[in-house]
Every structure is written in C-alpha cells, then in structure tokens.
Amino acid sequence: MKSGLSMIALALAVAVPAIVHAEDQNDKPKVDKVDDITPQVRTTKLSGTFGGQRINYAATIGETIIKNKDGVPEVAVVTTAYIREPRDPNRPVTFLFNGGPGSGTVWLMMGAFGPKRVAIPGDARDDGAPPYPIVDNPDALLDVTDIVFIDPPGTGFSHLIGKADPKDYYGVTQDAKLVAEVIRRWLNDNGRWNSPKYLGGESYGTTRSAAVANQLMNETYNDVALNGIILISTVLDFAAGADTPGNELSPITNLPSMAATAQFHGKAGAGLSVEQFVEEARQWAIGPYAAALLKGQKLLGEERAAIRRDLARFTGLSETYLESADLRVTPSRFYKELLRDRGLTVGRLDSRYTGKDYDSAGEEPDNDPSFYGIDASYTAAINSWSRDTLGFKTDREYQSISGIGGQWDWRIGGRDTNAYMNVTPYIGQALRENSGLRVFVGQGYYDFATPFFAAEYALSRTGIPQDRIEYKYYGAGHMMYIRDEDRHKLSADVRAFIRGR
C-alpha cells in the first residue's frame, strides 16, 4: 500500500484505488462566483409506505450558504431533507452523510434509507447498463425519524464559492466544524432543537460522525446533545488498517475478513456457518497470530510452522505462498491470490464480487469489481431523483466520488497524535459525558475497505463505555444494503435502535 497517512485513509474510504487515481485531474476544485449566491431551495410533497405505515412527507433539496468571518460567502452545502407531515417538533431527526472523504450521500440515500432506491442485483453481479429501476423503498426510516442527508463541499452538488481556500474546509476538523454548523443552522431554521437527534455515516462518514459529534458536544458553547451515533462500515482508528511495513495490526484486523471471504468462495471453513468461522478467526487472530507476529524474525521452527498451517486454514492460501509473504498477506495481494487458480480476483468493497483482470500474473487486481459493479446505477439514480423529481437545477456534476481526498488535512493534534490517527476517543468522551447517548455499529462480513474486526478493535479500547455500543453484522460488504436481505435487516436494526431511546 502507498505510504503516507492521507493515502492510508483514502484506501480505507469508499473510493477504490482506481478512482483515487482520478485525483490528478481534480486537484483544483471548481468554485462559483461570489455574485451568484442566492440559495436554491426546492420542496416537493410526496407520500410512501415505510415500515408498514403510509406517510406523507416533504422532500426539500436546498443550499445552505456558509460565510467566512468577514461575511463573505465561501461554501454552498446541499442538503436533502425528508420530513414527515404534519410536522412534529419533538420527532426524532437523523443527519446522515457518506464518506470518501469525497463521497456524496448517493449511497445511503439511494441505497438504504431514502424513500426511493435504485434496484440492482444483490448477489454480487454487475449492475449492467441503463435504464436502472428507481423504486419505492419501504425500508426507508421515515416511520421513526425525519432524515437530513448532508453533502459537505466537494461532494454531491455542494461546492466552494469565489476565493474560498480548500484548506479551510478539506480536512478532518475543518470538515467537522462545517457539518456541525450546517446541523445547527438546520435545527434553527426548522425549530427542531428539542427533537431527539441522531448522527450517522458510512465509511469515512463514520470518521466524520466521531469528529462532528466532538464539535457538537465538546468543542462549542452551543452544545447539541445527541441520542445516538450510527456507524455503518466503520473506520475510526486508521493505524489498525495501515498496510505499511512493520505494522502488525493490519494483518490481525484483516484476518477475520479473509476467513469470511475464503469461506464464501469455497476455499476454507467447510461445514461451519460464517458466524462460527469468523469467531474462530477472531480468537486466533487476537491470540496466537498476534503473539506470533510480535515475535518478528524470532518466530522459528515448529511454532512458525504451526502458525503457517493455521493461517492457511483460515485464509485458503497455500503455505508456500504464506511463507513467501512472511505470514503477512496484504489485502490487495489477497484479492489477487485467493482465486488465482480460477483466473479471478475478489472485490475490496465487497469480496463476494469477482472480476477478471487483463492477466492472472500480477500482484494486485486491475480494479475493484465490487465498485465498478454498482457505480453507474447509483450515479444515474441520484441525478434522476434530484434533478427530475425534486427539481434541483444546476449545471454542476453530482460528485459521487470526487478527488478532494488528495488535499485532505488529516491532522487532529500534535506530532505524536497524528502519527496515530484515531478519532475513537471522541466517541469515548461523548459516551462518558452523555448518559443518554448510544452507538450503533453495522458491519458487513465481506468488507475490506473497513474490516469489521478493525471496528471492534477500535471501539474496545480504554476509555470507551461498552454497555451502550450495539453491533450488527450483515452477509454482504461495505454497502451491505445492496443485498435485499441485508437492507431489510439494516433498516430493522437501525429502526429498533432509534425506537430504543
């Protein structure tokens, strides 16, 4: 994997390596002129059946203009809100965003929790060519909460204005401050300060959730208490997933995902359920495997042979290959090696998917079949829904995955802090200081972008109350909701989490 914290983080976010390469063409963000700042707001009255209830709702897509300290407009943030009617000021409201950090809310909105979704194959097949069905989504959460999807600048239709400096907005803390301000503005404008409030995201959106929660609850005099944080495909501790030489955490936290994937493709775990095999892998990874890796080159003889045999049993890879890799297989090598005998690679975002490369001799895949297998349908769906149905007028392209991650400022503290990029302590502090706060964690077994064991590892560290964290698991990958069974389950799980307050 490429060195440097920014590349580590990019590799853990929604954007796949092939998309990251496009940053070279996107380094200079497009900005609008300051004299064109009238915010556009469009409201459409609709109805649908969600959670078994027929509900009337208002869908409002609109721009929030953010000004700098001198009162000069610098950012237009587009939000899409779905509000049940008649309006109830004490009803729960949930603020959602995606990851990237350059990813728009298209994935959660058109895949999981919005009133409409794009229907694509859920069995790891390619989404093909248009037209793609845009259908009612009974799994949307409007029966239990109003929903506000937020696209930070550089994602979706949101953008910088005039001479705005990207350095003021493209970074962990800068981004979190902006999103927190948008949330406060929305609460003001809609009279919702006393509503139960939930905050959530997917992938880097979980990193953003921790950072925004810190801004809302800890870093301001205008405290916004939260009832829940919803983490979907979680990445909080970036050291745990850094595939850099000498980091022994990455092979440990990736091992259970490798086991699940090897079992799915018939290479390991015969006769066991995925839950059983994954639990065996967890215990072995954090126990014998971790102890062995920490010995480094002092791991010799029969002890090394025993570790190699067990590693082969869990990963489905040959002992010869594992020895050549010094018992440490990076995910990118695993994608290529697991099904090399079949001439196939497995996906990164969802390792159920398989792809065929230019040839079978390489070290790593040409591309991620679990991304190019879904991206066109989601892009078509969000543009059709936002422009044609909700009436948003713009000549800007919707940024489902943009290149702003290459400019991202990952610093959240001093030198030593940034050598260990970890936002989990923000969640720990929020839980310790708010007895009514709970955390939901949803993870796919076949996700290598944000491995489930890495999330468990991060959230089990010192200073994080364990009694208000709830874990749920799904039989797909990063965007588990593309699989019908998992979308139903995710919706039911989050719905129960919100009701459980």
> Is the residue at 244 inside a domain?
no
Whether 364 and 393 share a structural domain: no
> Is the residue at 323 inside a domain?
yes
Return all residues near 263 (Cβ < 8 A) that are at least 6 apart: 269, 270, 272, 274, 277, 316
Q: What one-character-per-residue DSSP string does 318-355 give?
A: -HHHHHHTTT---HHHHHHHTTGGGT-EE-SS-TT-EE
Whether 233 and 300 share a structural domain: no
Torsions phi, psi of 135, nearest 5? -120, 165
pLDDT of residue 278: 98
pLDDT of residue 133: 87
> Is the residue at 303 inside a domain?
yes
Q: Token pair for residue 63?
A: 């721009």
> Is the residue at 99 inside a domain?
yes
Nearest alpha carbon to residue 401 among 9, 13, 3: 13
pTM of the model: 0.91
> Is the residue at 57 inside a domain?
yes
Whether 296 and 414 share a structural domain: no
Instruction: State how many domains the chain has.
Output: 2
Whether 198 and 338 share a structural domain: no
Whether 472 and 362 share a structural domain: no
Whether 278 and 420 share a structural domain: no
pLDDT of residue 127: 72
pLDDT of residue 93: 98
- Name the domain boundary from 309, 342, 372: 372
Whether 282 and 384 share a structural domain: no
> Is the residue at 248 inside a domain?
no
Beta bridge partners of 79: 62, 150
307: domain range? 254-372
What is the distance between the alpha carbons of residues 135 and 115, in angstroms, rounded to a whole number?
A: 9
Q: Token pair for residue 497?
A: 């989490």
- Name the domain boundary from 309, 337, 372: 372
Nearest alpha carbon to residue 139 among 491, 476, 482, 497: 491
* E strand segments, 24-152: 31-32, 41-50, 53-67, 73-85, 93-97, 116-118, 134-136, 146-151
| Helix or strand (DSSP H, E) at 160 | strand 159-161
Whether 451 and 357 share a structural domain: no
pLDDT of residue 129: 81
Whether 230 and 259 share a structural domain: no
* 3-state SS record for 190-226: HCCCCCCEEEEEEEHHHHHHHHHHHHHHCCCCCCCCC
Whether 320 and 425 share a structural domain: no
* E strand segments, 305-450: 345-346, 354-355, 438-444
The CATH number of whichever domain residue 46 belongs to comes to 3.40.50.1820
Given a cut of 50, the residues of the chain with pLDDT beneath it are 1-32, 34-35
> Is the residue at 479 inside a domain?
yes
* 3-state SS record for 283-296: HHHHHHHHHHHHCH
C-alpha distances out from residue 86 to 57, 241, 488, Å: 8, 46, 27
Looking up tokens 């069995």 gives 123
- Name the domain boundary from 372, 394, 414: 372
* E strand segments, 372-465: 438-444
Whether 264 and 225 share a structural domain: no
> Is the residue at 286 inside a domain?
yes
pLDDT of residue 418: 65
Whether 200 and 288 share a structural domain: no
